[in-house]
Amino acid sequence: MSIDHNGEALRAETPGSSAARASAVNGEPAVVELNDANFAAEVLALPSAVLVDVWAPWCGPCRLMAPLMTWAASTYAGRLTVGKLEADSNPGSRDAYRVQGLPTLILFRDGVEIGRHEGAMAKPQLQAFLDAHL
C-alpha cells in the first residue's frame, strides 16, 4: 500500500483487479493509485465513471484537494471510482490527456473524457461538477 501526499492510504491497483475495487480501507472506499502501467485497465476499460485527480507532491493546491478525493470516493461509492495520478512520474498518461496545470480533475465514463476542471475547488464546487455528470 502506498501513502498519498496527504498521508492517506492509497490502494495500488493492478490490471484486472476490478474485484478489489469494491474493497475498502478502514470502511471507506479507497482512492485508486494510478500510473502509466495501469491507467488503461483502471480508467479506460471501466464502463462506470472514474474521476482522475492529476497531482504533484510539490503542488500546494493539490494537497488541498486530497481530502476531497477521499470524500468523493465515499460519497459517490458505487457510482464513481476515484483515482490519483502523480503527474511527474507518469508522463505518458499526463501528456496523453494534455494536462498543463495542477491539479487537474478529469472525469471519464466508458473510457471517454466527459468533464475536466483545472485548479483547486471547494467541496460545493466539486459536488456540483460531479452531480452534473453522474
Chain segment 104-133, per-residue pLDDT in tens: 999 999 999 999 999 999 999 999 999 999
pLDDT of residue 29: 80
Is 117 within 8 Å of 104 (Cβ atoms)? yes
Instruction: Determine which one of 50, 51, 54, 59 is catalytic.
Output: 59
Which residues neighbour 35 within 8 Å (Cβ) at sequence distance 6 or greater? 85, 86, 89, 90, 93
Rounded mean pLDDT, 55-80: 97
pLDDT of residue 67: 97
Quote the CA–CA distance of 102 and 105 in Å, as a whole number: 9
Alpha helices in 60-122 (DSSP H): 60-75, 91-96
The mean pLDDT of the chain is 87
Catalytic-residue membership of 59 = yes
Rounded mean pLDDT, 44-49: 96
φ, ψ dihedrals at 73, nearest 5°: -60, -40
Q: Which residue, 22, 40, 28, 130, is CA-closest to 85?
A: 40
CATH architecture of the region 2-133 = 3-Layer(aba) Sandwich (3.40)
Instruction: Determine which one of 30, 52, 54, 62 is catalytic.
Output: 62
Q: What is the pTM of this model?
A: 0.82
Residue type at position 37: A
Rounded mean pLDDT, 16-21: 40
